[in-house]
Each structure stands twice: as structure tokens, then as C-alpha cells.
Structure 1
Amino acid sequence: MAGGMVLVVNAGSSSIKTAIFDADLREVLRIDAQGIGQTGQLCIGSGAAQPCALPDHPTAFQAILARLHQQGITKGNLAAAAHRVVHGGPDLATTTRITPAVRSGIAEALPLAPLHNPHNLAAIDAITALTPDLPQYAAFDTGFHRTNPEVARRYALPDRAETSALRRYGFHGISYESLVQGFYETTGTPLPRRLLALHLGNGASLCAILDGQSVATTMGFSPLSGLTMGTRAGEIDAGAVLHLVRDLGLEKAEHLLHHESGLRGLSGLTADMRQLAETDSDAARLARDHFCYWITRQAGSMIAAMGGIDGIAFTGGIGENDHEVREKVLANLSWAGNIPNWIIPAAEEKHIARQALALLKDPAHP
């Protein structure tokens, strides 16, 4: 192990979020590259954003590594880079070292997550080009939900080659797995047998966790389905999607469903729940009510999948910080009894770093 630190990477279409963790899993530094391909800037820790030319992902990584060096962290200090990869496809589930075969598996999943996996892969390739000897690991957002039963994962479609990849994969798995593993440490309470977990942020989902394993979740084939989200439509009839495609064409329909819908579409204003809470308009109130209504409605199906409920855990930006949303959801679920509930701070990056460090120390995973 050349150094004891892990660089955790979460790459999107126009941003790269990175965090450095030491061997004791303490966060040392955070650097975000924003506006890649547009008006670029770097955010270092809690400091002000600094303008920076970032035409592409490789350049953004070069800028991040240069800033790390300025902060006293060189390539020699890094033991590994560990990536959040949204989709592991049908085969990749557990956190693993990135080999040529694993990279190929991530590439094969590109059609399943076209808005996410290409950028995850670009981040992996950029680090490979810049630091070819640095071990890299991938943690998959779909992996935690592999324990869902077949009846939960299977769509009612004929068993044909063209439908073989159409499954309810589920997402936010890294968040849910870290919540489960850190539950006792965070709350001082044993993990409830039947836990309803709510990951509420710009992307939002629910997960039914039975005996520590996912048995149902609201997201399906893609991160588009399920709850009302910041800009994503969530639950929508497939017939309505086909109607949009016929009327608007594929690209415009896809953009509408992913980027113009959800809270932004309902309010006609913003996807920011804080701004909606401060806005005195019927549309803003409808957006927040819609968000809570569909959480409650789909929570019923999660509770049914577990055969009851013993606890509720809120995580994610909205789940942790919007007390009005939490109170409304709990009030709407009062029919299920006085359910214990907790707020669990999201710790996905720390969880990814923990898994990478464990694999580095495991002789079975050289």
C-alpha cells in the first residue's frame, strides 16, 4: 500500500465530487469540480468556488490532483481510488477492484444507465490515464437490491432476448447498505427487523429492509421511476411515456421526464425543496404535498413487502434536514402505529472508502 488514503469519486455529467479519507476513515479533504464543459469551477472544502477551465473529465481530474498536491496530498499518499458506479448491470453487485473485465462489465451496462454510467466510466479511465498504478475499486448502487425476490425484480414481460435486461434493479443501494451497517453505531439501537428506509434528496427512493436485506424498493429499471423527485417524474404510466414519445420524439420526451418534471415541473419554479417551502403559491404547496403523498402511498407497498414495520429511517438531504416533510410523512403513516423513527446522516462516501480499504487489506483481492 503506497499510501494510506482513499480518493472517493462520484462523477456526473457536469461535475466530479471527490473526498479523501485516511486509513482511519476520517475525511481529510473534499474537492468538487463543477460546470465541466461549461463555466468550470473548483470548490475546495467549504471555501468559495474558484473559476477553472474544465473542458472535459480528464482535465477536471488533472485539476483535482493538482489541488490535492497543493494541499499536501500527492499521488504517493493515495492507496486507492474508489468510485460510485450507478449501474452494475446483471453481473456486478459487490464492491470490487476494477480489472479489464470489470471495466467491460460497467461499459456493457451503459445502455441501462445512459445518464450515469458513461460519466462513471470516464472517471475511471481518466484516473487510469493519470495514475495507471493506482488500484481502483467500484461500488455499485444497484448491488444492495440483489436480494429482492424474483417476483419483485421481474416485470410482467415475455421471456425474450429483447426483454432480458428489463428488470427492477433499484438504486441508492450504497446509501441503504451504509445505513444498515452503521445503524447501531449511529443510533445506539439494534437494527429493526422490518425497517422502512427513506433516501430523500433530489433523487428519492424507499427501501423495504427485512433482516438487514433489501426485499423491495421504489426505483426500478432506471433511477427515473418511483417517487416524485427534484426533476424526475417518478411513477408514470408506460402508456403516458409512449404518448410523449409519439408527440415529442424520443430525445425531448426523455429530457422532459428526467429534467423538467418532478418538483420543478409541478411548481413551475424550482426543484429546491427549501425554496418551495418559502414560496407562498398553490403550485409550490402542490409540489411539496405531491412529494409527501407519493412517499406515503408507496411506503404502504414497502410495508406490505415486509409484512409490517418496526421502524423508519430518514436519510439524504431532504430526509435529514426538512422536518416538515418528515412530520408529514410520519403523520400520514400514523395508521401503522407509533413507529420509532431515526435520522441517519448519509455516509455513502465513507462507506465506499471503508470497503475499498478492506479489500486492499484482503490478500484474496490483490
Structure 2
Amino acid sequence: MAEILTINAGSSSIKFAVFTSTGTADLHRKLHGQVEGLGAEPRLIAKQGHDTVMTRALAPDEARDQAHALATILHFLESHDDCPTPEAIVHRIVHGGPDRAAPMVLDADTITALEALTPLAPLHQPHNLAGVKAAQTAFPGAVQIGCFDTAFHRAHPWVADTYALPGSYYQEGIRRYGFHGLSYEHATRQLRKLSPERAKGRTIVTHLGSGCSMCAMQDGQSVTSSMGFTALDGLPMGTRCGQLDPGVVLYLMQSKGMNADEIETLLYKQSGLKGLSGLSHDMRLLEEAGTAEAEGAIDYFVHRIRREIGAHMAILGGLDALVFTGGIGENAPNIRARVCEGFEWCGLELDTARNAAGETEISSDASEVQILLIPCDEEGVMAQHGHDLMT
């Protein structure tokens, strides 16, 4: 029996889960939780199944940053009776670069190479790698494994992977990488269980949360994705701008005198739903606010999702299944309804009652396109990859 710990270190939270492997393909999730609210009001939450075993507000020195928050999590796990020392620790790494198409054991050379990719994912990569180093210190005997969010998209056709720049830039690594691969992998696995025939066809998965993206798949393989060179591109997000004319960046530099750091802060932390609303990146607060700015932010968010669905549908040549996942995708029925509204022309029709109830299948009986709600489980995918590598 082996213990596997997964760590998903993000910009405002760190999620963890403990799995037991019996040597078969079956994994048992013993414990899971997160430190949330980093930079604001941090707290540690731990659950066994649906039962909460701990909720505790953290002192400033326990969650000063991701490294301290992870140390708090590891200390909690070390003191928990049901959590023996893990044999493998599996980390979500947002950016794996152009060549890493599968999970792998993390050694010193690999970590150094991944650190060089930090400018391509500045909100996530430093925290992901800080989690690796903290776990190495806490559990020096455990195997450290990396799962890359970009790996799922590495089989893209060239036209979906490149920019219209001189070819030398593509060779240097300036290309469309795509992200949220672990989420898409989980959605694909679940779709194969729920609707095997649909899973073989044309699928669009929308991952809607603090970060947002969309992926078009054929038989479970990524064909194209809304995100590109960095996690800024495509759909508007909580604090990130989404698609932007590069001329805007030139204007900010030349006419506004902004430097690279100022532009990075603007595009990554002050834009998206937060920037448009002038209020918050939290969809729940925006739906409650009722201000013109909040409603405008939601309108733009929905508009861009619908636009991307149309574009992805054109690449696929039609659509067999549409999947919603991620925090907003799973918990905002009004957003799902507005996204699907008016797509009856292509055979996509939402069932109002099923959508409001948050059922797994939310399409109407008359809908030619199956619409599904699949909760995100990146940790489950990570644990399975860790198990496979260990065995």
C-alpha cells in the first residue's frame, strides 16, 4: 500500500489531497483540503469525503506566502494520524515547455529548466516550483513528480500551435501552448464514462474559474485551445485580460510610458472581471452587485465565451458535446444559461430545470448536442499519474 500526496499550488490558494494506492488502478482519496485566501484572510480547510475535519484561520506567519502556507499544510499532514509519510508527491506544474508531453519525475536539472519558463506563467510557475522545493525538504525520501498543464495540448496541429511570425521564433519556443490540461484530461475521462459515443466525437470543454480557457477535442485529443503563449490569452478571466490586440501593449509603452513590470501587473492582476467591474473578480459578488459596471463585465465574459464556442465549433466541423467545468462553470447556472442561449440553430438546447438543479446532464431531451456539467478534479488526475509512474 502506497501513499500519494498531491499539491496544487496557485496564486491565491494551495490545494492538497492524500491518496492510498493498493497496487491496482484504484485510488482511495483519504483526505483533501486547501489553504485559501492567501494575501487576504487565509484559512486551512481539511475534509474526509464530505465531512470537514478542520477549518482554522491562519496567523500571518503561517500563510505569509505560498512557501509558508505549504509548510503549514505539511505540518498538519505530519501530525494527522491517518497520513503516513508519502512515497510520492505529485505537483501541478502549469508550464512544461514545448517538449514535455507527459508527467515525469522531477530532478535538479528538470527543475532548473522549468524555472526558466517562469516568464511564461508568472502567476503560477514560481508557486508551483516553490511547492516542489518545500516538499523535498519536508519529505526527502519521497519521489517528486510533475504533471504539466501544457502537456495535454502538445499534439496540436502546427496551424493551431504557431503564430504568424518568422519561423525562427517558433523554433525558439514562441508558440501557442494551451493550459488547464489536467482539467481537460479529467473532463475527457469522465465523458468517456458518461457518454462513450459522444466522447469519440467533437467536444468543447469550457474551463471557467479564476483562470478561464476552452479546448476543442476530437476523440479526446486536443485540437485547439483558446490560451496561447501565456495564460493571458483567450477568454477574459478573474483578473487577466484575455485576448488583447498587441498594439495595446505598444501603446502603453510608447504613449503611457509604462514599463514591463507595470504592464504585467495590469494585464495579470488588474484586468478581466475585476478590471471591467471595478469591484471584484468573484462572479458571485458581481451577480449580486447589480451595478452597470458589474453587469457589463458579465456581459463581456459571456460574449467572449460564446464567440470562442463558435470558433471552436468551426474548427471541429460541428459539435457533439459541450462540457462546463471549473468554479464558475460548475456553480453559476445563470452563466451557463446565457452561454447556451441562442445556440439552438446548431442543435444545442439547455434544459432550464436541470441546469438550475446542477445535474450532470443539463441538455434538453430534444438537444442534438449533449451538455454536461463535470466538476473539476485535477488532483485525481495527478494522483493517477503518480500511481502509474510509481508502478
Output the TM-score relative to the length of structure 2.
0.85
Q: Given the alignment of the two structures, is residue 262 of structure 1 paired with residue 272 of structure 2, yes or no?
A: yes
Which of 10, 29, 32 in structure 2 is aligned with 1:30? 32
Matched residue of 1:303: which SS? Answer: helix
Deviation at 1:188, TM superposition (A): 6.9
Q: Given the alignment of the two structures, is residue 197 of structure 1 paired with residue 205 of structure 2, yes or no?
A: yes
Matched residue of 1:60: which SS? Answer: helix
Render the CA deviation track for 1:44-100: whole Å, top value 9, x for unaligned.
334433323234544433322221133214553x12100000000122121111123
Deviates most, 8-17 or 323-332? 8-17
Which of 60, 63, 75 in structure 1 is aligned with 2:72? 63
| In structure 2, distance between residues paired with 1:39 and 1:344 | 29
Matched residue of 2:69: which SS? Answer: helix
Which of 210, 215, 219 in structure 1 is aligned with 2:223? 215
Change (3 A) 1:349 1:321: same
Alignment gaps of 5+ in structure 2? 349-368
- How does 1:351-362 map onto structure 2 within 5 Å? 351-361=381-391
| Aligned twin of 1:7 | 5
| In structure 1, distance between residues paired with 2:218 and 2:196 | 19
- How does 1:226-265 map onto structure 2 within 5 Å? 226-246=234-254, 247=256, 248-265=258-275
Deviation at 1:203, TM superposition (A): 0.8
| In structure 1, distance between residues paired with 2:268 and 2:70 | 27
Report sequence identity in percent. 40
| In structure 1, distance between residues paired with 2:147 and 2:384 | 11
Matched residue of 1:93: which SS? Answer: coil
Deviation at 1:243, TM superposition (A): 1.3
| Aligned twin of 1:48 | 55
- How does 1:1-366 map onto structure 2 within 5 Å? 4-13=2-11, 15-23=13-21, 24-34=26-36, 41-45=43-47, 46=52, 47-52=54-59, 53-54=61-62, 55-76=64-85, 78-160=86-168, 164-186=172-194, 190-246=198-254, 247=256, 248-338=258-348, 339-361=369-391
Change (3 A) 1:22 1:190: farther
Deviation at 1:161, TM superposition (A): 5.6
Alignment-mate amino acid for residue 35 of structure 2: A
| In structure 2, distance between residues paired with 1:39 and 1:340 | 40
Deviation at 1:12, TM superposition (A): 2.7
Deviates most, 142-151 or 122-131? 122-131
Alignment-mate amino acid for residue 103 of structure 1: I
| In structure 1, distance between residues paired with 2:190 and 2:297 | 32
Contact 1:175 1:346 in 2 (8 A): yes
Alignment-mate amino acid for residue 45 of structure 2: C
Change (3 A) 1:95 1:11: same
Matched residue of 1:26: which SS? Answer: strand
Alignment-mate amino acid for residue 33 of structure 1: V
Contact 2:18 2:83 in 1 (8 A): no
| In structure 1, distance between residues paired with 2:157 and 2:68 | 43
Deviation at 1:162, TM superposition (A): 8.9
| Aligned twin of 1:364 | none
Change (3 A) 1:319 1:14: closer
| In structure 2, distance between residues paired with 1:197 and 1:357 | 26
| In structure 1, distance between residues paired with 2:197 and 2:80 | 39
Change (3 A) 1:136 1:292: same
Deviation at 1:275, TM superposition (A): 1.4
Deviates most, 247-256 or 187-196? 187-196
CA RMSD of aligned residues (A): 2.1
Change (3 A) 1:277 1:74: closer
Alignment gaps of 5+ in structure 1? 362-366
Output the TM-score relative to the length of structure 1.
0.91
Matched residue of 2:110: which SS? Answer: helix
Contact 2:161 2:177 in 1 (8 A): yes
Deviation at 1:220, TM superposition (A): 0.5
| In structure 1, distance between residues paired with 2:176 and 2:276 | 26
Matched residue of 2:304: which SS? Answer: helix
Aligned residues: 358
Render the CA deviation track for 1:94-131: whole Å, top value 9, x for unaligned.
11111233223312322322222121111111111222
